[in-house]
Structure 1
Amino acid sequence: MTPVQTHLYDKVCHHLNVIYDQVDTAQPLTEVAQTLLSKMGLDQDDVTLPAPHQNHWTEQDVVLITYGDSIVTADEAPLATLHQFLKQHVNNTINSVHILPFFPYSSDDGFSIMDYSTVNEGLGTWHDITAIASDFRLMSDLVINHCSSRSAWFNNFTKSEGVGSDFFFTVDPSFDTSQVIRPRTSELIRATETAQGEQHVWCTFSHDQVDFDFRNSKVLESFISIIRQYLDNGVRLFRLDAIAFLWKQSGTSCINLEQTHEVVRLLRTLIECAQPDAIIITETNIPNRENLTYFGNANEAHAIYNFSLPPLLVNTLITGDCEYLKNWQMRMPPAQNGTTYFNFIASHDGIGLRPAEGLLDERELNTLLNTMQSFGGLVSWRSTPDKKQKPYEVNITLFDALQGTVKGPDKWGIERFMCAHEIMLAMEGIPGIYIHSLLATSNDYEKVKNTSQNRSINRHRWDHLKLTEQLSDKRSQHSRVLTKLNAILAIRIKQKAFHPNATQFTLQLGSGIFGFWRQSIDRKQSIFCISNVADIEQQIYLSDINLISTHDWWDLLSQEPINMDQPYLTLTPYQSVWISNLN
């Protein structure tokens, strides 16, 4: 081995020793380390260890989140239709795309994978995936906690033979599950007949989604092969789905265990050595303080989902009071170089409520729930360790969630919706925009009826021809929102002060005005991002934001200069300004 290889090998061995410290592995960990390096293609002489604290992102990075078949055309692969849509409508404003699981699956709209190595033939082929990856930075899910009960691996488990026969987590009556935390109300354990008799399989999410047993190093080796294949097909961002539940231990909550964190560290080591510009994003829909731990010491996730932002921002805009959002933002630590936040306010799931725990009090949560239900939203539930049921998430499209306030629907829906994005797009971190926000899609009740799944409300499938007709009608909500968002994005991606790691400082402008200051890393640009979050006109005094009077200032959003001779700015309901010293 060369010195670099030796150092990498030792580092991988260290990760494995932490993960398997209390496990009797079938083969020596030194052999496991060699296997992992070989499967990742890191057993060559030209391996380079990346320098720490490198940022593989800029202010130009914006991610579109979509299913492979969110837009469909007759007689065309949905992935080809998606590629066409991306090139036609967002080619100059969005440079990355997260295609939600595009593999063969049996349930949960893709998150119950039957085969990790092939593309769902109903979507297209690997050729379609690589074509998109050639034009956009591609993000893919690594559904690492569980797979489908109809997979070949689980079939081999039931037959007790072949690859997969020992891949799944089973328990006996002595395993203490009393403290387990999970986001579902279904039974945790599934009784399964196998060639060796009845076994009790762990199912965090549903009985069709059976959890892997990472105590078996062969499971880890299989996922390293999967990662290598994804890299070879153009994937550069890995979303580690449900990663918090990976490791199970009797008598614990079976969430966020140290072995899980070490697996993330191992994956980062291998991925960034194999592809230095690739990044890991952890999907951990959990309370904010726990979520932050997935940064590690800039040695775990490159980015973490900012799960607390959606409920706090929606709460702000329906109440007209930003105090909870402001207090949260003030307490959020700046991300170290080599890490950043992944900001979003809508996704294929719903508005998660666990990330609001400790941030919104029960009265505010109830107000949020009641308001969302009055706007047609649905509620999904989870079981607590003491068998009680608590709301887990609100299922609603963001466009419908922001159609009004706690007082009811009003005329400010689009303004409120745009205000939400103007806040999110200016915040520290990489922004992600869900396709149904980009297109201002409303609640799909017909799909909920057909699937009996609450989350389907925000998973509409657009016919490309009908969508084109709507986008051609300049009066439609879909055309208006897409045009406005593209205009804002075109401004956003040119601002050095919006680099994901640029300085952010929260402003104190009262409960009805939310504001923060961004400064570019080279300190040449300042942007004061200020939004009226209420349904009334409000004024802000320029003295309150300390604009240097010897400088010229512009509102980037309106492209108008700031008149320093006037003592204040007047903001209409839900109006935002991005006040910059550089135009």
Structure 2
Amino acid sequence: MPTTLLTPEQAERLRLAFDDDRDAQTFFLRLERYGPELLDSLRAVYLERADGLLERLLEIMLHAYHTRPADLKRLDEARLLSPDWLQSPHMVGYVAYTDRFAGTLRGVQEHVDYLEGLGVTYLHLMPLLRPREGENDGGYAVADYRSVRPDLGTMDDLSGLARELRGRGISLVLDLVLNHVAREHEWAERARAGEEQYRDYFHFFADRGLPDAYEASLPEVFPDFAPGNFTWDEQAGEGGIGGWVWTTFNTYQWDLNWGNPDVLAEFVDIILNLANRGVEVFRLDAIAFIWKRLGTSSQNQPEVHHLTRALRAAARIVAPAVAFKAEAIVGPDDLIHYLGSGTHHGRVSDMAYHNSLMVQLWSSLASRDTRLMEEALRAFPPKPTNTTWGLYVRCHDDIGWAISDTDAARVGMSGPGHRHFLSDFYSGEFAGSFARGLVFQHNPATGDRRISGAAASLAGLETALEGGDETQIELAVGRLLLLHTVVLGFGGVPLLYMGDELALTNDDRYADIPEHAADNRWVHRPRMDWALAEEVQAHPDTPAGQVNAGLRQRIAVRKTLPHLHASIESRVIASPDPRVLVLRRDHPQGTLLELYNFSEDRVVLPAYTLRGQLGEDARDALSGSAFHLSRPTLTLDPYRALWLTAAEVNA
């Protein structure tokens, strides 16, 4: 069982670690395939320390391989036979906080029928590994990667839930915070106690010299309640005296020093341990921040992509069923590198968030104009064909108006002016706005005002229900369904945020909870309304019922369309009307043309502009209706969506 990575003596020692020749063959084949990627990236980052680090990682990987449960090894083989599993139109995601969805992990297990009924095949449970007590950034200040938050259950409960989900064809997704740990994590506590090994896990400074030099080019993530990127700690210095520690996000979240190979080894072990518990997708939180470089923003550095590729390669050797999703909320030119470019092409993360699409959806909804969206999407570099997008209308976070000044200028807009308009519109300050949102993290220096709010409230349903205006209620329902239809049809994994399928509106009760009161993002993190979930089934004519039924129908249609496989890119087609977005997807089984009316107007389009795309006869997959494009015009009702295929394809 030779491998180019190892000397004959090393290969023989490795072979002797196996009792079963078939297991040995499997491990060596994967090492032959992914080992060069692993070693290349280790050498790029750690130079002469790389070979020794590889030996250490092999020990970690061997242990994880030997302890990997048989049913997960079977899943590994199945995924190797279907490497595009994450790109399938059958993939539909659901994102929820465990406690807000069902109380505990066992509670989630009791509601798997609900998820299965929605058509969910991918369940992302928001941070559930044990965080620090008290304020913890929504769970992203992890104090222990090897235990679950006590009120949610145990690691055995997590394994049991993963097993139940797996049996229903649902992949479990968990957050893995890479950039930082809680101040109370064992590594940080041992660093403060003076253990030199663990002091090198973090970035410590005796005085403000280097921190001030770094600050000159570092942005602030939370300028309101965590200004600056460094925190004074009374025990952070040598000998237990005070010192400065790097804290990008909050004072209690200590940034890790990924320049130390021990940190990489720790995370390989953590990933494989959780993978053996049944986690199938890791959301790599704050991945953009993990490498620090003076004179830069310390985001998107080349080492980030080498480190991610190394983690992915190690995971592929032991658990090829596992996939990585990059939580990189960055510009398109930087984002594409998280899926892989150049020598990393298709070898970094398997999935990344398409934050730009989400921002452009809300932008077009407010302006009733899709030209900026067209320009932004057209400028996106193509992704590797073996990767996919994570697509969403809303998530747990605020909305930052990531509008490119360059894109805006190309359509005759002012970038700063449009961002100002969007903040005004979605905070309800703009005259005639239907939205009900809250300003989050106003930065006077830059003028940035991010927005919190539930999708239904931002889309106007809260205002319409309070006013009892049936016309406005109908329009708000149409907006919600339109946004979700774009996400379902764009080509990637649509991620449905908990409660959006029930059109839940803002939950102002967050202000009554002391640890949430200062963070208005909790306004769109409600508790699941199980009574409403039952009611919408019995009363599909209510606004919530209409949204729920509409989403279920669109999810079912999505799963029948091979055109929505994520290896295919959506291409923007010049629209004959600025209120309408037109996307084209060219699949070997035919063309899918998607039309979306982002206005409350009935829009009449010249049919000849579509006839050249599909021919004279087309069928709408969403409604089953036939469209004869030989006629002069095609009319789109307010917020109407069409998924058109040539009629003969479905004959």
Which deviates the most, 540-549 or 278-287? 540-549
Bigger radius of gyration, 1 or 2? 2
CA distance in 2, matches of 1:301, 1:281: 6
- Verify: 1:80 aligned to 2:101, yes or no: no
Residue 174 of structure 1 is matched in structure 2 by 209
Residue 266 of structure 1 is matched in structure 2 by 310
- Verify: 1:367 aligned to 2:421, yes or no: yes
Residue 364 of structure 2 is matched in structure 1 by 316
Residue deviations 1:129-172 (CA, integer Å, cap 9, x gap): 33443231111111010111122222222212397443222234
Question: Match for 1:426 among 469, 480, 489?
Answer: 489
Shift of 1:10: 4.7
Verify the 8 A CA contact 1:350 1:455 in the aligned structure 2: yes
Residue 517 of structure 1 is matched in structure 2 by 584
Shift of 1:382: 7.2
Shift of 1:445: 1.6
- Quickly say closer, same or farther: Cα 1:463–1:150, change in 2 above 3 A: farther
Question: Match for 1:306 among 342, 348, 354?
Answer: 354
Residue deviations 1:16-52 (CA, integer Å, cap 9, x gap): 221124xxx8xx432211112221238989999x999
Residue 20 of structure 2 is matched in structure 1 by none
CA distance in 1, matches of 2:403, 2:301: 18
- Quickly say closer, same or farther: Cα 1:453–1:549, change in 2 above 3 A: closer
- Verify: 1:71 aligned to 2:101, yes or no: yes
Residue 3 of structure 1 is matched in structure 2 by 3
Write the letter of the residue equivalent to 1:2. Answer: P
Write the letter of the residue equivalent to 1:417. Answer: L
Question: Match for 1:36 among 46, 57, 69?
Answer: 57
Residue 114 of structure 1 is matched in structure 2 by 143
Residue 484 of structure 1 is matched in structure 2 by 550
- Quickly say closer, same or farther: Cα 1:86–1:356, change in 2 above 3 A: farther
Question: Match for 1:567 among 632, 645, 648?
Answer: 632
- Verify: 1:529 aligned to 2:529, yes or no: no
Write the letter of the residue equivalent to 2:209. Answer: S
CA distance in 1, matches of 2:65, 2:427: 57
- Verify: 1:280 aligned to 2:324, yes or no: yes
Secondary structure class of the residue paired with 2:582: strand
Q: Which has the higher contact order (CA 8 A, sep 6+)?
A: 1
Residue 508 of structure 1 is matched in structure 2 by 574
Residue 387 of structure 2 is matched in structure 1 by 339
TM-score (normalizing by structure 1) = 0.90
Secondary structure class of the residue paired with 1:483: helix
| Map 1:45-60 → 2, pairs under 5 A | 55-57=84-86, 58-60=88-90
Residue 527 of structure 2 is matched in structure 1 by 461
Residue deviations 1:31-87 (CA, integer Å, cap 9, x gap): 211112221238989999x99995342111111111112223xxxx52233333342
Shift of 1:295: 2.1
Shift of 1:246: 0.3
CA distance in 1, matches of 2:307, 2:558: 35
- Quickly say closer, same or farther: Cα 1:549–1:463, change in 2 above 3 A: closer
- Aligned residues: percent identity? 22
Write the letter of the residue equivalent to 1:369. Answer: S
Secondary structure class of the residue paired with 1:168: coil
Shift of 1:536: 0.6
Residue 119 of structure 2 is matched in structure 1 by 93
Q: Provide structure 1 residue ranges, at least 5 long, that are not aligned to the other structure.
A: none
Question: Match for 2:477 among 411, 414, 421?
Answer: 414
- Give 1 or 2: higher helix fraction: 2
Shift of 1:356: 4.9
Residue 271 of structure 2 is matched in structure 1 by 227
Verify the 8 A CA contact 1:117 1:226 in the aligned structure 2: yes
Verify the 8 A CA contact 1:379 1:391 in the aligned structure 2: no
CA distance in 2, matches of 1:59, 1:125: 33
Shift of 1:491: 0.3
Secondary structure class of the residue paired with 2:365: helix
- Quickly say closer, same or farther: Cα 1:390–1:40, change in 2 above 3 A: farther
Residue deviations 1:426-452 (CA, integer Å, cap 9, x gap): 113222121132221211122045312
Verify the 8 A CA contact 2:359 2:402 in the aligned structure 1: no
CA distance in 1, matches of 2:459, 2:549: 18
| Map 1:236-275 → 2, pairs under 5 A | 236-275=280-319
Residue 190 of structure 1 is matched in structure 2 by 231
Q: Provide structure 2 residue ranges, at least 5 long, that are not aligned to the other structure.
A: 7-31, 67-72, 409-414, 429-434
- Quickly say closer, same or farther: Cα 1:471–1:321, change in 2 above 3 A: same
Residue deviations 1:487-537 (CA, integer Å, cap 9, x gap): 1000001100000112432222220111111122xx113211101111110
Verify the 8 A CA contact 1:129 1:233 in the aligned structure 2: yes
Which deviates the most, 222-231 or 358-367? 358-367
Verify the 8 A CA contact 2:204 2:243 in the aligned structure 1: yes
Secondary structure class of the residue paired with 1:167: coil
Verify the 8 A CA contact 2:148 2:155 in the aligned structure 1: yes
Residue deviations 1:375-422 (CA, integer Å, cap 9, x gap): 332223376xxx934426311111111118999994410101111111
Verify the 8 A CA contact 2:610 2:629 in the aligned structure 1: no
Verify the 8 A CA contact 1:436 1:458 in the aligned structure 2: no
CA distance in 1, matches of 2:529, 2:461: 28
CA distance in 1, matches of 2:614, 2:484: 29
Question: Match for 1:156 among 158, 171, 190?
Answer: 190
Residue 39 of structure 2 is matched in structure 1 by 13
CA distance in 2, matches of 1:413, 1:466: 18
Write the letter of the residue equivalent to 1:439. Answer: L
How many residues were matched structurally? 568
Which deviates the most, 448-457 or 165-174? 165-174
Verify the 8 A CA contact 2:423 2:450 in the aligned structure 1: no
Verify the 8 A CA contact 1:192 1:201 in the aligned structure 2: yes
